[in-house]
Structure formats: C-alpha cells, structure tokens
Amino acid sequence: MDFHTAKQFLQKYYGYPDFRDGQKKIVASLLEGRDTLGIMPTGGGKSICYQIPALMYQGLTLVVSPLISLMKDQVDALQTAGISAAYINSTLSGREVNDRIRAARGGELKLLYVAPERLELDWFRDEMAQLDISCVAVDEAHCVSQWGHDFRTSYLSVAPFVRGLANRPILAAFTATATPEVMEDMQRLLRLQDPQVFVTGLGRDNLHMSVLRGENKKEYVLDYAASHTHESGIIYAATRKEVDDLCQRLQLRGLAAGRYHAGMSDDERATSQEAFLYDDIRVIVATNAFGMGIDKSNVRYVIHYNMPKNMESYIQEAGRAGRDGEPSQCLLLFSAQDIMTQKFLIEQNPQDGERKHNDYRKLQHMIDYCYTTKCLRNAMLDYFGEEHHDEPCGTCSSCTDDREQVDITVDAQKIFSCIHRMRERFGVSMVASVLKGSRAKKVLEYGFDRLPTYGVMNGRTEKEIAETINVLISEGYLALSEGQYPVVRLQSAAGEVLRGQRQVAQRVPRPAKASSSQRRNTRDVSPSAVNETVFEQLRLIRRELASREHVPSYIIFNDATLREMSVACPQTEHDMLHVKGVGEVKFRKYGRPFLEFFQNQSGDAGPEEY
C-alpha cells in the first residue's frame, strides 16, 4: 500500500504533516502486510500506528482493548476526527450490540473495539467469523504474559480466535513497556508470524524524572499541588487509606482534588474520573487501579507518593504525564518504609512460588532505581534492554544533583569486610546493626559483637549505614538474594575495593535547608515561550466546545496544539491547517471559533501586545 497516502490521511484526520520516526517503521510494516510488535512509550502515538492502516485496509480492524474507559476515549477521539469507529462492551444493551455488529457487517465501520473477554464467547466468535477482518490490533499486549505486570488470562484467547477465522488477518501488538522476557512471551502467545519488532525510544525528552529521598512527603505533595493549581496532575499512593488522607488534605487546602481506588463504588470512581478528564478537578489522588483507561494529554505532573512495585508499573504510570509532548514532571518520593509496604502487598497476593519469586526480583530492580546515582533515564533503558548512548540526559534528579562527590572507599571496605565476616548470610538491617555496634538480642545471640567490624561505624545511624549499603547494591558492588528476606552478598567489584584496586565515591547528604531548593529545581519547568493570557483564552473556547460536544477538552485540541496556535496567531484557514494537531476534519468541526478569535485580535493589536 502507498505510504504517501498514509501521510495524507495523517494530515487530513490528525493534523500532522508526518509520522514520528518510530511510527513510520510500524505503519510501513503493517501496510506491507507483516505481523508487527511495537514497544512504544506512553504518549508515543501507538494508536495512530494501527488507526492509519485501518483506514487503508479494505476490511475491518478489530482492536482488542482492556478497559471500557479506554475504548470510549479512543472511539470518541476517532469519531471527533471523522473516522467511523465503535466499541462493544458491557455498557451496551443487546440491541446496541447487534446494531454495531450489523454496521460492521455492512462495511460502515473501519475500527471496532472489544474487550479480550469477548473473544472467549462462542456467539461473538461466530459473528466475527462473518466479517471481513483485515487486522487484529492488540493493545496493552503485555497482558498476555504472566511475567508482565498486568497478566490477564483472557488475552490468551487472542491466538485461538485468530486461528478460527477463515482468512488470517494481520496481527499488530502494542505495549508501552516490556522486558526481553515479556517480548518473547508476546510473540509466542499471540502466535505472531515472522513479526517485525520495533522498540522505539522509551526515554521521552519532555519528561523530567526525579527520585527524592528524605522529604516530608505530605508537606511536599501539598506544597507542590498548591504551587501548580493551574495544571493537571496525578498523585499515586500505595494504599486506599493514603489516597483518602491525601485527597482530604488537598481539599482542606482549597484545591480542586478528587480520589480513585477500588474501595469506592463504580459510580464514585466514574464521577471522579470524568471530573478529572473534563478538568473540573485539577489533581486526582489514586492507587494504581487508576490510569490505564486515561488518554488525557495535558497531565503536567505525576507524583508517586510511594515507590511502585516494579519498573513496568512505574514507567507506565509516570508516562501518563506529558502525552502531548510538553515538558512535564515525574516525581518519585521514596522512603525505606515503601519497601516494607510492597513486600507486604506481595505476601498478601495469593500466587504460586515462582510468580512471587519474580515479583521480589522486580521489586529489587525498583529499589535499585530509587538508590542509583546514575542517570535515571539510562537506568530505565538498561532495565528494559533498550540500546542507547551512555550520555546522561542532563535533566533527571541524578544528572542535576550538584552535591559534592566524596570518597567513601574506607566506609565501603568496612561494609564489605563485615558482610564477609558474617558469611554473607544476613540482610541489610542486620549488617547495619553490627556496623553500628547495636546491642540488639539477635546481634548478641550470633556473637557478632565479637567481630572485628562490630561498631566500626558507630558514628553513623543504622539508617544512614543502611542507605549506604543500598547505594552500593544499586551500583553493583553488592547483590541481594530474592525473596521476602533477602541476603546481601559481595560481588566481584567489592573484592577490588577490598584489595585497594578501586575507589568508591558517594554524594554528600543534602543539608536540610537545601530541600526547598531541590523543590524549586524540580518545579520550574517552563511549558513553552507562549503568551499565557492568549493560551487561557483558547482553553476557554475549547472548554465551551467540549461541553457542547460532551467530550473531554483535549479531544477537541490538546494543549500542545493550543500553545502552537498562540505563537502562530493564524489569520486564515491555510494558517490554521499548518498548526500541528488541527487537520481538515477537525478544522471544519471546531476550527472556526479559534480562527475568529485571532482575526478579531489582529484588528486591535499585534501578537506581542496580546
């Protein structure tokens, strides 16, 4: 199929002159009729990769999507752009389902969204067998793997469903995050045939990643949200109790905040989510139950009040910031208590030993990320096995940490020597207790008070010693065994340090007074060099249109499009169509009020006077 036509459709329906680099390869692969696996970051434009080919295929594209809210969001956006699409899920009556299947059979739809559970129903498979299905696109495809972070058994029905069709369609699978192990599972369990696999830049330049340790979490969150009342944000917490408490505190501060967790009724959750999507509330506090169905493009910050259970969850949740490409903050507030919380949650989850073993392994990778002094973006890319240049990003909290590096080789030798003398059989807390010189019962029972290394770091607190041990773990000098009670063990690099062949450096702990400056460093991200007054006026026009159409504001035009408008100040239809994100169809439906605004302004003042 003609790639030039694909670019024309992209401009016409989406308002973009060309595909991003990652999108080009995936779209070309699908237009060649190849099974394709795309690993793209949240906000990387995965949906366009199968929606544009769907417009060019002769038959229907069936999209397997995991959440009702996600389906509705996608279909609303497609219909707004003038593309014929529908969904089938449990919110519809039997008559509505039949009407949509009839429309698909009559060739009236180009895309049909369904939940994976539908593929397990005999009657549904029979109905689909009568349709001309050109492509099956599997969204959130990592759900097919038990080693992924959202394993969903219904995804295993995709391959049998495809195998049951008279003519095998093209298979396209997409996800935001996947380790090499999960990638192999997706190809095998979805039965992709000789697929082309594309992993495109998980590290997004517009996201500023920060890990903050030692902060007063409640004070930090309340202060941050109060300083960003004009921006949309998500605050993730580990437990329902923390969600309720934080939401209440934000509301008492006079902030437009909502909450979302599994302990709320379906109606309560739906109301909170809708209020957030429509910008009736600016910040939502939630457990990880919230987010997969959210396509909100103007989230300017995501704060993790607690460390997540694994890197996959963290990157997916943090990636909900800045989907429109505008600068956004991803802040992780870490404390040692987070580790205990996540271990408790793992133990409470009924699962087999191998699965639990895997969860502990993933948790340790997450802990290492929180302690590393390396560039956070590079650490993330290393975890997911993506090839990259070693240059630091220059924007994450590790790269912008200007604290002085000090030599801690002697302390490291003391720690390594103590671990060796304890025969590498104990965890971080016990090692820290011995080095501190604790008189705890277990320390004395094992006779550790008689070791030469007992009390050799008594000038430090046990917490400080444990922090240093965890940094040494993250840097590869030490390793932890897997399980609920991990044992700390020496690595070859530690031997080099003990023999005096390698030096170890660590940044000096930040003085308490520098905490506020760190906050300023992570907050002062200028969205764009635009006139904020004009931008806010454009948002009011957008909000009025969205209210009339009963869709979230960002489905009309996202913030990045409005910012470009405020700089370009279009005076003609031709000018408007050159603004990224407008497009012919959207201009006809929504462009006139924005154009009239600029035309009226031009009669009174030049752009610089707005």
Contact 132, 61 (CB under 8 A): no
Q: Could you tell me the CA-to-CA distances from 136 to 84, 132, 157, 332, 427 in Å, in that order? A: 17, 11, 13, 37, 49
Domain boundaries, the chain: 3-199, 207-383, 405-509, 532-609
Query: How wide is the angle at C-alpha 208 spanned by C-alphas 474 and 303, nearest 5°?
Result: 80
Beta bridge partners of 592: none
**Rounded Cα gap, residues 437 and 431, in angstroms:** 10
pLDDT of residue 486: 87
Q: Where are the extended beta strands (E) located within 395-475?
A: 405-407
Classified as helix, coil or strand, 208 is: strand
CATH class of this structure's domain 405-509 = mainly alpha
Listed in sequence order, the residues at least 6 apart from 125 whose beta carbon sits closer than 8 Å to its beta carbon are 119, 161, 164
Q: Are 178 and 384 in contact (CB under 8 A)?
A: yes
Beta-carbon contacts of residue 285 (< 8 Å; ≥ 6 apart): 235, 237, 243, 246, 247, 250, 257, 258, 259, 260
Q: 244: Cβ–Cβ under 8 A, 6 or more apart, which residues?
A: 259, 261
Q: Judge whether 492 and 502 are in contact, CB under 8 Å.
A: no
Q: Do domains 3-199 and 207-383 have the same CATH topology?
A: yes
Residues 114, 65 contacting (CB under 8 angstroms): yes
CATH ID of 207-383, from 3.30.300.30, 3.40.50.300, 3.40.630.30, 3.40.50.150: 3.40.50.300
Nearest to 284 by CA among 352, 345, 241, 225: 225
pLDDT at 423: 93
DSSP 589: I
The helix-helix angle for 46-56 and 21-31 (nearest 10°) equals 30
Do residues 125 and 161 lie in contact, with contact meaning Cβ atoms separated by under 8 Å?
yes
The pLDDT of residue 518 is 40
Q: Is-contact 68 293, C-beta < 8 A?
A: yes
Give dist(CA 309, CA 298) in Å, integer.
Answer: 26
Cα–Cα dist 213/593, whole Å:
48
Q: What is the mean pLDDT of each run of 10 residues along the chain (610 residues)?
A: 88 89 91 93 84 95 86 87 92 91 94 94 93 94 80 91 94 86 92 92 84 88 93 93 95 94 88 88 88 76 94 88 89 88 83 80 90 89 80 89 84 95 94 95 94 94 90 87 85 92 76 41 43 84 88 86 89 90 88 90 50
- Give the per-residue pLDDT at 293: 58
What pLDDT does 21 receive? 78
Cβ pair 462, 470 in contact under 8 A: no
Distance separating alpha carbons of residues 124 and 128, to the nearest angstrom? 6
- The CATH fold assigned to 532-609 is DNA polymerase; domain 1 (1.10.150)
Is 3-199 assigned to CATH 3.90.1150.10? no
Distances (CA, A) of 37 to 60, 146, 319: 19, 18, 20
Question: What confidence score (pLDDT) does residue 528 get?
Answer: 44
342: exposed, middle or buried (C-beta count within 10 Å: 0-12, 13-18, 19+)? buried
CA distance 380 to 377: 5
